[in-house]
Amino acid sequence: MRDKIRKYTEEINSFRTSRKEELEDFRIRYLSKKGIIPGLFSEFKDVPADQRRDIGLMLNELKNTAQEKFDQILHLLEAAETVQKPSLDLTLPADFMETGSRHPVSIIWNEIIAIFSRIGFTVAEGPDIEDDWHNFSALNFQEEHPARDMQDTFFLQEQPAFLLRTHTSSVQIRTMEKTRPPIRALFPGRVYRNEAISARAHCLFHQVEGLYVDRHVSFADLKQTLLYFAREMFGENTGIRLRPSFFPFTEPSAEMDISCFLCGGKGCRICKGTGWVEILGCGMVDPAVLDNCGINSTEYTGFAFGMGIERIAILRYQINDIRLFFENDIRFLRQFRSAL
């Protein structure tokens, strides 16, 4: 009896399996009603009285060992099973993940900055909420200028005036007040005008302003810089045309047209038959503006230009309604893909 118990103890101790069926065989062999261990217990009644204590202990130990072995392996197999059958089926094809696309305003914003940064322009930004000095007075706007009217400008407070900037030219002033020439910078940002919203006008849009101030900056520099920009933005065959204009802060001032990139100048819907499309305002920084910012206008000259980002995007993508930029309709937005 002792030898049998030792033999089974050894067998049980060395038992290993990773299969449930083999574990069940183990249970049937040792632990079931007709199994080895209950069999040994029934033989126990024949054990002579002087050995009963020892053999009884050995038998109980054998039974515990078998039960523990069984429980332990069962537990491991069950744990492995729950890991192996999660709800995730790794053989399924992956779900399609929608990638976002950039907003057309961001695409053009980035493109304008990339084009000018190749010729040494840096980027700065200013606040959307401005005071009268930076948006108007320092830029040479007369007291009675119509832009100062409530009809054209969103005033947040009248005295002292706080307003939503009507153009990014305010950032020219902030930059010239705190940096000395040479200055060669771009100022992109959001601007606000108190206008009725329609397909052609919105009360908010984006501009990029450019400023170059140094000794001997001339109108020829302005013209060549803008020609470079027009060709990078609209194609190498693009021509430019400067028409005299007026801005309080530049003298002389001009508006720039580009030759129509759609019809090449023959006349079409985009250029309304003229062969030219207007894209920006520009001019030589008025000496009074330089002086307002503490830059000596007898020593330095500069040029500035400003353009609407939506305007460029409307031309580039042939969009017919400016409101589309602000509605966040993804059927509109997902049409724009860009590396920038």
Q: Applying CB under 6 A, does 247 fall inside the site for ligand PHE?
A: yes
Q: Applying CB under 6 A, does 169 fall inside the site for ligand PHE?
A: yes
Indicate the residue among 168 and 259 with the shorter CB distance to ligand PHE: 168
Q: Applying CB under 6 A, does 141 fall inside the site for ligand PHE?
A: no
Q: Applying CB under 6 A, does 130 fall inside the site for ligand PHE?
A: no
Q: Applying CB under 6 A, does 165 fall inside the site for ligand PHE?
A: no
250-259 sheet: strands from edge to edge: 122-123, 183-192, 204-214, 301-308, 276-285, 250-259, 240-247
- Interface residue with ligand PHE among 305, 313, 314, 324 (CB under 6 A) is 305
Q: Applying CB under 6 A, does 126 fall inside the site for ligand PHE?
A: no
Helix segments in the chain, DSSP class H: 2-13, 20-26, 36-43, 52-84, 104-117, 132-135, 169-178, 219-234, 287-292, 309-317, 330-333
Indicate the residue among 188 and 281 with the shorter CB distance to ligand PHE: 281
Q: What's the min distance (Å) between Cβ of 205 and ligand PHE?
A: 10
Q: How far apart are CA 150 and CA 156, in angstroms?
A: 10
Count of Cβ atoms closer than 10 Å to residue 236 Cβ: 7
- Interface residue with ligand PHE among 104, 126, 188, 283 (CB under 6 A) is 283
CA atoms within 13 A on the CB side of 197: 12
Q: Applying CB under 6 A, does 209 fall inside the site for ligand PHE?
A: yes
Q: How far apart are CA 171 and CA 169, in angstroms?
A: 5
Judge whether 280 and 309 are in contact, CB under 8 Å: no
Q: How far apart are CA 313 and CA 335, in angstroms?
A: 13
Judged by CB under 6 A, the chain residues 88 through 117 that form the site for ligand PHE are none
Helix, strand, coil shares, percent, the chain, to 5: 45, 20, 35
Q: Applying CB under 6 A, does 276 fall inside the site for ligand PHE?
A: no
Number of residues that bind ligand PHE (CB under 6 A): 11
Q: Which stretch, 85-93, 177-185, 279-287, 326-334, contacts ligand PHE (CB under 6 A)?
A: 279-287
Q: Applying CB under 6 A, does 282 fall inside the site for ligand PHE?
A: yes
Q: Applying CB under 6 A, does 250 fall inside the site for ligand PHE?
A: yes
Q: Angle at Cα 78 formed by Cα 74 and Cα 79, nearest 5°? A: 120
Q: Applying CB under 6 A, does 259 fall inside the site for ligand PHE?
A: no
What is the binding site for ligand PHE (CB under 6 A)? 167, 169, 209, 247, 250, 281-283, 304-306
